[in-house]
Amino acid sequence: MNSLRIQPAATRRTTARLAVWLHIVAVAAALGAVEPYLPTNAVDSVALLPPPPSIEREEQAADLAAVRAGFKAVSEQERWRAERDAALVPERFAPAIGEWFVMERLPKTAHLLERAKLCARAPVARAKEHWKRPRPYELDARLRFGGKPESTYSYPSGHSTVGTIQALVLAELFPDRREAILAIGRRIGWDRVRTGKHFPSDVYAGRTLGQAIFRALQANPEFQRDLDAAKAEVATAREPASATSR
């Protein structure tokens, strides 16, 4: 079985949206516009986060048992869905916001989210390299799922970190959809447990780190300027979408 055989129409839509998103990022990068809002040392992830459970300790065994339970609790189709959705495109939040939430229609919002997302890269990489925690499937081969093995260490989860940042930024843009948006942000991290890529403690650490990065973003004038621009863009785009819905 492979991902192309499961919900092919949804897969094609996701692939098309990913292509558009990558095009937006590539164009902005060519213009020199996509840079993180924060310096690489703005959030000290090693000082912020507790060490992950040691491989010799009981809590590590409990962490691995939780991955096995989460992996077993879902169908293979659900795991393929989670694998497909691992691309951290903002449209993943469309179920909470509306089908009209497509990045090619919202360039200022896309710019805001991409720059915020890049703020996770350095602190996540620093923590991963510091603790060098193996992935769950490296400890239990039965948890291996999907394509190529990950090229980085397990702790903290980068997907959980970025999903948290994206969710918190979008909750600022759509306060009336806040709870549904935050729920998707949490699921982004937990899907990585269900596919054997991360331990629960990796996901929780990613949420903590994502919240810390978002707090730093809130104190950044450039971020606030772009957030205001995105709010105006969203308000303009949302009016015809609401009228069509009515």
Per residue in 134-164, pLDDT (tens digit) is: 999 999 999 999 888 889 999 999 999 999 9
Q: pLDDT of the chain along its 246 residues, tens only? A: 343 334 444 444 545 555 555 555 554 544 346 899 999 999 999 999 999 998 778 999 999 999 999 999 999 999 998 888 888 999 999 999 999 999 999 999 999 999 999 999 999 999 999 999 999 999 999 999 988 888 999 999 999 999 999 999 999 999 999 999 999 999 999 999 999 999 999 999 999 999 999 999 999 999 999 999 999 999 999 876 555 554
- For the chain, which residues make up each domain, given as ranges? 3-43+51-245
Are 145 and 135 within 8 A, CB to CB?
A: no
Cα 57 from Cα 245, distance rounded (Å): 54
For residue 42, give the nearest of 167, 160, 219, 189 by alpha carbon.
219
> What per-residue confidence (pLDDT) applies to 149?
87
Buried/exposed code over 36-71 (b: 16+ C-beta within 10 A; e: otherwise): bbbeeebbebeebbeebbeeeeeebeebbeebeebb
The pTM (predicted TM-score) of the whole model is 0.84
> What per-residue confidence (pLDDT) applies to 110?
97
Which positions are catalytic?
159, 192, 198, 202
> What per-residue confidence (pLDDT) applies to 22?
56
Residue indicated by tokens 């491989």: 55
Length of the chain (residues): 246
Whether CATH 1.20.144.10 fits 3-43+51-245: yes
Q: Is the peptide bond before 156 cis (omega within 30 degrees of 0)?
A: yes
